[in-house]
Structure 1
Amino acid sequence: MNVGAAAAGARDDGDSLLVFLHADSSLPSGYGETIEREMCGGRSRRDWGAFAFKMTEAADGDSWAGGMIRRAIEFGTNCRCKLFGTPYGDQGLVIRRRAFDDVGGFEELPFMEDYVMVQKLRRRSAPRLFQDPVVTSGRRWDERGLAKVTLLNQVILMGYHLGVPVERLAKWYQFNF
């Protein structure tokens, strides 16, 4: 991601915007207008922001219960973002070049670099949260189970805060139970 930011160049004023998105996520139509409105409008200029979270439907169609669990995960993710200012890369991080440079860019990590970036940005300012959702693939949840993936994600975050090496956490993430 740092290579992409370097390749994007920068305006002299550091006010350009960089957009980072996980490979299994898709920006909403009209995302450029959304970014312009939310990040460059006169109301409040923020250093960074992110879109809302939405998950794709199951490949074979959701059961009623599966659909409700997906909506609950989306709701919980979006509430976490509003309450704690903690969006992740699957929501599309939009970062002002100046802020990106000031926090030293992304850490060179095999995993969780978006989480670490958000922690650095939060110390600087709160994010602007956009209403439009980025749609993220539900493949991992479909293959492994909605509850299992959600629980594993929470265990990984707890492990990170307890000092478990990121390389080990990356192996946990690949764990197929």
Structure 2
Amino acid sequence: MISIVIPTLNEVSNISSTIEHTIRCASEPNNLAFIVVDAGSEDGTLASISNSMILKFSKPDFKLRKYKSLNYGLQKSAGDVVLFLDADTLLPAHFDASILKALEDKKVVGGAFEFSFQKPDWKLWLLTIVNRIRYRFGKIYYGDQAIFARKEVLDQLGGFPEEALMETAYLCKSLRKKGKLALMKPGIVTSPRRFNEHGFFKVAWFDLNMFIRFNLGLPVSSYANKYWGKNLN
């Protein structure tokens, strides 16, 4: 079984379609278990999920601390593999079979999917190319790449570190100490809404600063309120 953890905050416009898309794309949909952890939505996100088989949890105290939602979902997961999926990210066809195939290599402890945007313009295409170079060399993947890992390894690590920003990047650093990370193709398609809503250059500059600080070993959590306060996803 693959447990799919989806952290949400005001995702009523995305959550149901993302879940339905994920089920349609699975080779074995009956082997998926969905866990939605909501950090206090005010738009009826949880109420909009009609599938009674999906576990739903409301945790308003997790607001602006995504790692808490991810760790809570991990605690509730029963699958051998846990996939962390953003509510505005669409997985490729047969993603589950691809993951299980990659994990046949015992040295592989997890991985993530190739990255692309929905309806990219030239700026987003350029950013996509830069991102692909970045994670191919650095093996550090971000949350919108649908990171997955063996549950036993995640449990050994204690889940996500208590970092209020770039929590998946820190997790990747820990996972790499346990084994190899696979890069899956075909990739995911994610929404560019952060860039559309707040301006491409403003968001790209902020993300670049966080990337530099992360790689220099400087703290980034102090920037979390600025980030999550403007981009509640």
The two structures share one fold, judged by TM-score above 0.5:
yes
Matched, 1:115 2:188: no
1:19 equivalent in structure 2: 83
Matched, 1:88 2:142: yes
- 8 Å Cα contact 1:25-1:136 kept in structure 2: yes
5 Å matches for 1:26-65? 26-40=90-104, 45-57=107-119
Identical positions, percent: 25
5 Å matches for 1:68-79? 68-79=122-133
Where 2:209 maps in the other structure, the secondary structure is helix
Matched, 1:6 2:75: yes
Q: Which one has more relative contact order, counting CA pairs under 8 Å at least 6 apart?
A: 1
Amino acid at match of 2:77: A
Distance in 2, Cα, partners of 1:165 & 1:151: 14
Superposed CA deviations along residues 88-112 of structure 1, whole A, max 9, x for unmatched, are 1110111011221222211234332
State the shift of 1:140 in Å: 0.8
Amino acid at match of 1:2: N
Q: Give the structure with the larger helix fraction.
A: 1
Superposed CA deviations along residues 25-78 of structure 1, whole A, max 9, x for unmatched, are 1212221122122222x5x64001100001112xxxx6xxxx222112112112
Assess, with a 3 A threshold, how the Cα gap between structure 1 residues 53 and 155 changes in structure 2: closer, same or farther: same
Relative to the length of structure 2, the TM-score reads 0.61
5 Å matches for 1:107-146? 107-146=161-200
Where 1:49 maps in the other structure, the secondary structure is strand
Q: Where do 5+ consecutive residues of structure 1 fail to align? A: 11-15
Distance in 2, Cα, partners of 1:173 & 1:120: 23
- 8 Å Cα contact 2:107-2:180 kept in structure 1: no
Relative to the length of structure 1, the TM-score reads 0.79
Assess, with a 3 A threshold, how the Cα gap between structure 1 residues 126 and 148 changes in structure 2: closer, same or farther: farther
Where 2:108 maps in the other structure, the secondary structure is coil
Amino acid at match of 1:70: L
Distance in 1, Cα, partners of 2:124 & 2:146: 19
Report the count of equivalent residues.
160
1:152 equivalent in structure 2: 206
Q: Where do 5+ consecutive residues of structure 2 fail to align? A: 1-69
2:156 equivalent in structure 1: 102
Distance in 2, Cα, partners of 1:175 & 1:146: 17
